Structure 1
Amino acid sequence: MPMFFFDPFYLIFISPAIILALWAQFRVRSTYAQARQIPARLSGAEAARLILNSAGLTDVDVDMVPGELTDHYSPSERVIRLSPDVYRGRSLASVGIAAHEVGHALQHAHGYAPLMITQIAYPAANFGSSLGLLALLIGLGMGLTWLAWVGVYLFSAVVIFQVINLPVEFNASRRAKQLLVERGIVSPEELTYVNRVLNAAAWTYVAATLQAILTLLYYLLLVSARDRDR
C-alpha cells in the first residue's frame, strides 16, 4: 500500500492549513515580540493572581513551567502554568497571555459548556488520533476496507474536538480582554497590543482545526476510492 502520509497529494490537499499555520505562527511571534517591548503595571503571574483572587478563585494556583509559549490551564489540577517570560515578564504580552489562561479557569469555575465538552472529548480525540490512523493503515494495507472505515470514524473525534475547542479559545480571549481593562491592569489604549497577540494566537487554533478537517476529507477520499476499486 502507498504510505499516504508521505503522499505529495496529501501535502497539496492540506496546503491551505499549512500556509495558514505558518502565517499564524509568524503573527504570534511578531506580535508577541512587539508587545513584549511595552511595559505593564504587573507581571503575568501577578496579573493572573489578581484576577483569580478578585473572582474568588483563590484555590487556583499559578505556577511556572519551562519553555516558551507553553502557557496553559489544567482543569484537572486547577492550576495555571505560565512560561518563564510570561510568569516574570512585566509586559502587555505577558499579562495578555496570563489573562487568557485565567479566562479558561473562569470558564471551568462557571461551567462553561464548550469547555466541559472538550474535557470529555479530549481522551476520545487522543484515542481517535492514534488508533484511528493505525486502523486506517492496517485496513488499507490488508484490504480490509471495513477496518479502514473504522479508522476514519475514529479520526473524526479529532475534528469534533478541534471544532468544539474553537469557541473555548475565543471566549477565553474575550474574557481576558474584558478582565484586564476592568481590573485596571491595562488601559483601553494598551488593549490594542493585547488584542494583536491574542488574535494571532487564535489563528493557530483555526489552522489546526482546518488541518484536521482537511485530513479527515483526505482519509474519506482515500478509503472511498479503495472501496470503489474492490
Structure 2
Amino acid sequence: MLNFLYYASPFYGFYFDPYYWMIIVGAILSIAASMKVKSTFSKYSKVRSMSGMTGATAAERILHSAGIYDVQIQRVSGSLTDHYDSRSKVLRLSDSVYDSSSVAAIGVAAHECGHAIQDQKGYVPLKLKSAIVPVANLGATLSWPLIFAGIIIGGSQTLITVGILAFSLAVIFQLVTLPVEFNASSRAVAVLSDTGILYGDEIRDTKRVLGAAALTYVASAAASILQLLRLILLFGNRSRD
C-alpha cells in the first residue's frame, strides 16, 4: 500500500520525481518545433513559385518523372496533414498544399512524393518502419496501463519492466522514422531541382521549410527518449531500494 501511495500521489510528479524535468524539456522541444514549422510554412506560403505549379500539379509531375503512375493524388482536410499511404498507394495533400502554388506547398508535396519514390525503390528504412507499425502501436497502447498496473498491485517490477519495454517499441519506431523523413526531404530537394519545378532561391526556401518540418520529428524522438530514460531511472532506482 505504501508503494502505491508513493507512486500514485498527485504530488509525486513534482515533489518525489527527481526526473520530472525530462518531461518538461521534452514538452518544450516539441512545442518549439511545432511553432517553428508553422511559422516557416506560413512565411513561405506567401512566396509564389515562378513555375506557378500547385502542390498537386507538382506532385503529379514528380511522380511521373520517377516512373510512378499507380499513385493517386487526393486532397485531405486540414493544414499540414499531408502524407503518403503506401498500402493504398495514395498521396494525400492538405488544403494548404493541394491548390497552392507557393514554394512551401510545392516543397511539402515533393517531400510526400519522396516517400512514394522510397516505396517504389524498396527503401529499407521505410520497409522497416512499415513493418514495426503494428508492434509500435501495441507497445504505445499497453505501456502505461502495464506500468500503472505494476504500481497498483504493490510495485510489481515485472509488470513495470514489461511496460517500459513496450514503451521502448514506440521510441524505436520514432528513431526509425528519422532517416525515412530526412531521406524523403533530400529526394524532394533533388527532384525539384532536376525537374526545374523550382529555381535558385526557391530551392533554398524549400530547404528551410523541409528543415523546419524535420525538427518536429527530431523533437518528438528526443521527447520520447527522455521519457524512456526517466522511466528507466525512476523505476530502476526503486527496484534497487
Q: TM-score range by the shorter chain?
A: over 0.9
Measure the CA separation in 2 of the matches of 1:188 and 1:222. Answer: 51
Read off the aligned partner of 1:152 and give its amino acid letter.
I
1:16 maps to which of 22, 25, 29:
25
Q: Deviations over 1:178-221 (max 9, x none)?
A: 11111111002211111111000000000010011111111112
1:7 maps to which of 8, 13, 21:
13
Measure the CA separation in 1 of the matches of 2:26 and 2:72. Answer: 35
- Structure 1: runs of 5+ lacking an equivalent: none
1:151 maps to which of 158, 163, 168:
163
- What's the CA shift for 1:225? 2.6
Q: Secondary structure at the match of 1:23?
A: helix
- Structure 1 residues 196 and 125 mapped into 2: Cα distance closer, same or farther (>3 Å)? same
Q: Contact 2:37–2:212 (CA<8 Å) still a contact in 1?
A: yes
Q: TM-score, normalised by structure 2?
A: 0.91
1:196 maps to which of 208, 212, 217:
208
Question: What corresponds to 1:205 in structure 2?
Answer: 217
- Structure 1 residues 186 and 3 mapped into 2: Cα distance closer, same or farther (>3 Å)? farther
Measure the CA separation in 1 of the matches of 2:178 and 2:149. Answer: 32
- What's the CA shift for 1:17? 2.3
Measure the CA separation in 2 of the matches of 1:194 and 1:126. Answer: 32
Count of residue pairs brought into register by the alignment: 229
Measure the CA separation in 2 of the matches of 1:162 and 1:134. Answer: 21
Q: Does 1:138 align with 2:149?
A: yes
Q: TM-score, normalised by structure 1?
A: 0.95
1:26 maps to which of 16, 21, 35:
35
- Structure 1 residues 3 and 112 mapped into 2: Cα distance closer, same or farther (>3 Å)? farther
Measure the CA separation in 1 of the matches of 2:199 and 2:9. Answer: 51
Aligned ranges for residues 34-113 of structure 1 at < 5 Å?
34-40=43-49, 41-113=52-124
State the Cα RMSD in Å.
1.6
Q: Runs of 4+ in structure 1 displaced over 4 angstroms?
A: 3-6
Q: Percent identity?
A: 42
